[in-house]
Amino acid sequence: MRPHLSLRARAMLALALAAVVPPLVILGVRRIGLTDTTALVAAVAVMLPLLIWLSARWLAPLLRLTRALEGAVLSYRDGDFSLNLTPEGPRELAELTRLHAELGLAFREQRQHLAQRELLLDTVVQNTPVALVLTGPGGRIAIANLAARQLLSDGRSLVGLDFTAVIAPLPEALREALADEADRLFAVTLPDGSEETFHHSSRSFRLQGQPHRLRLLRRMTRELSRAEVATWKRVIRVLSHELNNSLAPISSLAHSGAELARRGHIERLPEVLGSIGERAAHLHGFLSGYARFAKLPAPRHEAVAWPSFLARLATLGEFQLDGAPPDRPGWFDAAQIEQALLNLIKNAHESGSEPDDVVLRLASLGGELRIEVLDRGPGMSETVLAQALLPFYSTKRSEPGSQGGTGLGLALAREIAEAHDGRIALSNRSGGGLRVVISLPQAR
């Protein structure tokens, strides 16, 4: 390829010609006897066409490159990155052309990579068993995967349709869940007669500056069935263990009492019958605890005055009140919250904490009431924290005459909190001990 002068070299050459040619022309004209004015005119007549010709010749590659770059930019705007420019002209322009070619190659590779990722993401979204619907501005459906189309429109495409119109003919429970923005678990009878349990979750975000909402519907029937079976197995194991622990001693004591009566040693019968009564009372309390958990009624909210509530609670369980109670009365079922707090205070004492370290703390944050029970026991491991709120999960050993070890204390507190549309959370305290927080919404 023929070498090209750089732009700087061309400019220097043009200046050199402009500096050398006119004096030479003037000198030659003077030698033939013409005037200075004639010599100057002759110099301009020679130099001007030369400079015009050189400028046109040297600027031609720059003009061609400018037009080519303009076409390349328009191609990029249309998403076409395949245009390549031929390197020619001065070295600076050739280098610019080479960099442009590298940029186009980078764009093509990035676009191919994004296309592959988009294809992978679309494949995952379309084939996931979770029904996914993305709605854009105005409630128009932007994305609906296969599971969503099969559930909402018998497999027909939903893109571009109005979401409200799509869900209008659906069963009432399903329609209400999809129209709501809150997460919920609900059951619905499908057109084929089968009953399914779904979990609905909804999140809003902005995409390209526009508000969008993503809705996910997950079938939970199978998972809930497995969890139900696992729970029943756990219940059967606990009941079997507890019944055996109580019935075996009762049977042995009854046999011993009969043998003592046969031999006439009736002086020991009161002791034997007392032991049988203790085991029977323990078994009765154990079963009563399960009955209370299973038959928890809906809470009856009412305004609760803190002085009388705390005074009654103090007669049932020992604790230290940290700070003053909220100024406004509480809004909850006093009997149920009292039962939940008694369970938590009892657990705090059974953790090995000193009695003075069992603390009750009350706070009102906005429209929410926070009740904290704190202790200075050993706390819980991560494994126990993850399972402590499950029914029938317990790390305590059952003792005669008590209800310890049933695994219902924390579970009952959780059931009561959630029945009040609240929540319960457990965490270890710095310096040792456990913090249990019950959060309850309050009437405005």
List the domain boundaries for the chain: 7-111, 128-219, 224-294, 302-441
User: What distances in angstroms separate CA 31 from CA 40, 234, 309, one per listed residue?
Assistant: 13, 122, 125
Q: The domain 302-441 belongs to what CATH superfamily?
A: Histidine kinase-like ATPase, C-terminal domain (3.30.565.10)
pLDDT of residue 140: 92
pLDDT of residue 399: 43
User: Which amino acid is present at 128?
Assistant: T
User: What distances in angstroms separate CA 124 from CA 128, 146, 149, 220, one per listed residue?
Assistant: 6, 11, 15, 20
Distance CA 192, CA 17 (A): 93
Predicted confidence (pLDDT) per residue in 407-437, tens digit: 567 878 888 888 898 998 888 988 889 999 9
pLDDT of residue 402: 39
**Which residues, listed in sequence order, are joined to residue 320 by a DSSP beta bridge?**
359
pLDDT of residue 404: 46
The two most distant CA atoms of the chain are separated, in Å, by 168
Which pairs from 32-35 meet CB under 8 Å and 24+ separation? Answer: none
Contact 149, 156 (CB under 8 A): yes
| Domain 128-219 fold | Beta-Lactamase (3.30.450)
Q: What 3 state SS string does 173-195 have?
A: HHHHHHHCCCCEEEEEECCCCCE
Could you tell me the two tokens for 233?
């197995």
pLDDT of residue 436: 92
Distance CA 203, CA 394 (A): 36
End-to-end, the C-alpha distance of the chain in Å comes to: 85
What architecture does CATH give domain 224-294? Orthogonal Bundle (1.10)
Distance CA 413, CA 312 (A): 18
**Which residues in the chain come in under a pLDDT of 50?**
1-3, 397-404
Distance CA 240, CA 91 (A): 91
Contact 324, 339 (CB under 8 A): no
Matching residue, tokens 């893109």: 159
> Do the two domains 128-219 and 302-441 of this chain adopt the same fold?
no
